[in-house]
Amino acid sequence: MKFKKLMKYLNLFTAYIFAKCSNTTPFVRIIPTDKCNLKCEYCWQHKNSDLEINEEEYKLIVKKAINLKVGIISFLGGEPLIWRFIYDAIKLCSDMNIITDITTNGTLLNKESIMRLSENGLDFLNISVDGVTTVKNLKCIEKNIEYLRIARDKYGVKIRVNAVITTKNFDEIMMIIEYLNQYRIPISLGYAMPSLEHKRMEGEIFFSEQDKQLIDTIIKYVRTKKKEGYKIIDPIDYFENIYKYIRREKFWECNYPGVFGWINVIGGCKIRSCTKKMDELNYSYLDLNSKKIKELKLLLLEMTKECNKKCYSNCAYDSYYYKNNKIKLFKKLLN
């Protein structure tokens, strides 16, 4: 098991070096389905369409990924555990020494699914939990904590929780953080944001300058817990800079598309510009080569100039922050 993990990380290192020397991409995000069994009010991916990646397309995508020296394949959605090929898909990547990462809302996790994911070689399991009493809640972790610990301790699966902070749920977010700290499970926190193209649920759950007291409470709490050693992944700057985002200031640059080369693949092997958008670019993943990847990166970087002020994605901000704070990144990795 440890040897297999070592081979995967060696492959990732090779992929990263290769990407630095040529116009390739070490990372691919696969969105096998847009379907989800939940309807979270802040979620941008709300089409719930029938578009999905079929088994033959997936095999072609992995074959192309190997050709492009990819080191990590992530599975997003929709809800990826709905996709009927998910376990075989992870095994195929593992057999090819490609690291796999999956983000799930956790409602379909149980002993069988956690063990199947682990036994098929999953490396990172990200569980989205936004409350204690809401539909997508802490119970999906509490009832499975024994199996999650087996996945982590026996199979080496890195487990973390993702949570979206709204104007309504921070009391429950604090309860989640305290619970996870008992088991030393990391958590990544992001502020809820309205969609770029749609104005669903504008206001109420989204932050404005009128929420200053709550925002200050959030910042103080996160700062205190990080100092106490709680495994909150995101830098304190992300939480403090929410005021700049609310004022629509230009203070950070989304560099995911250009620098790190994340490419998002959907059904039909088409490419989506961003996991937070439901668009489809005029590119096929199967047709990519060094020249087209360079062209695609330039296009994506140009597109981010339009949406950057409207978006405050915590994962994208973290990427920007640590790229510009190498010492803090090094300390974080040592931690």
Give the model's confidence band at 199: pLDDT under 50 very low, under 70 low, under 90 confident, else very high. low
Query: pLDDT tens digits, residue range 220-237?
Result: 999 999 999 999 999 999
- Please give the average per-residue pLDDT across 4-28, as a whole number: 86
- Please give the average per-residue pLDDT across 233-261, as a whole number: 86
| Percent of the chain with pLDDT strictly greater than 70 | 93
* 162 or 194, which is more confident: 162
CA distances, 222 to each of 76, 77, 118, 163, 187 (Å): 27, 28, 31, 13, 11
- Please give the average per-residue pLDDT across 82-95, as a whole number: 97
Give the model's confidence band at 323: pLDDT under 50 very low, under 70 low, under 90 confident, else very high. confident
DSSP characters over 128-162: E--BSSSSSBTHHHHTTHHHHHHHHHTT--EEEEE
Q: State how far the Cα of 207 lies from the Cα of 164, in Å rounded to an integer.
A: 12
Give the model's confidence band at 17: pLDDT under 50 very low, under 70 low, under 90 confident, else very high. confident
Question: For the chain, what are the domain ranges?
Answer: 2-334
* 326 or 284, which is more confident: 284
User: Over the chain, what is the mean pLDDT?
Assistant: 89
Query: pLDDT tens digits, residue range 202-211?
Result: 558 999 999 9
Query: pLDDT tens digits, residue range 20-68?
Result: 787 788 899 999 999 998 888 788 776 667 789 999 999 999 999 999 9
Burial 267-293 (b: 16+ CB within 10 A, else e): bebbbbbbbbbbeebebebeebeeeeb
Could you tell me the CATH superfamily of domain 2-334? Aldolase class I (3.20.20.70)
Query: pLDDT tens digits, residue range 117-147?
Result: 999 999 999 999 998 887 778 999 999 999 9
* 327 or 157, which is more confident: 157
In this predicted structure, what is the pLDDT of residue 132? 87
* 8 or 258, which is more confident: 8
Mean pLDDT is lowest, of 43-52, 130-139, 246-255, 304-313, for: 43-52
- On the question of pLDDT at 281 being above 50, the answer is yes
In this predicted structure, what is the pLDDT of residue 302? 86
For the chain, the first-to-last Cα distance in angstroms comes to: 23
Q: State how far the Cα of 44 lies from the Cα of 21, in Å rounded to an integer.
A: 35
CA atoms within 13 A on the CB side of 72: 20
Tokens describing residue 141: 């972790």
In this predicted structure, what is the pLDDT of residue 319? 85
- On the question of pLDDT at 200 being above 50, the answer is no
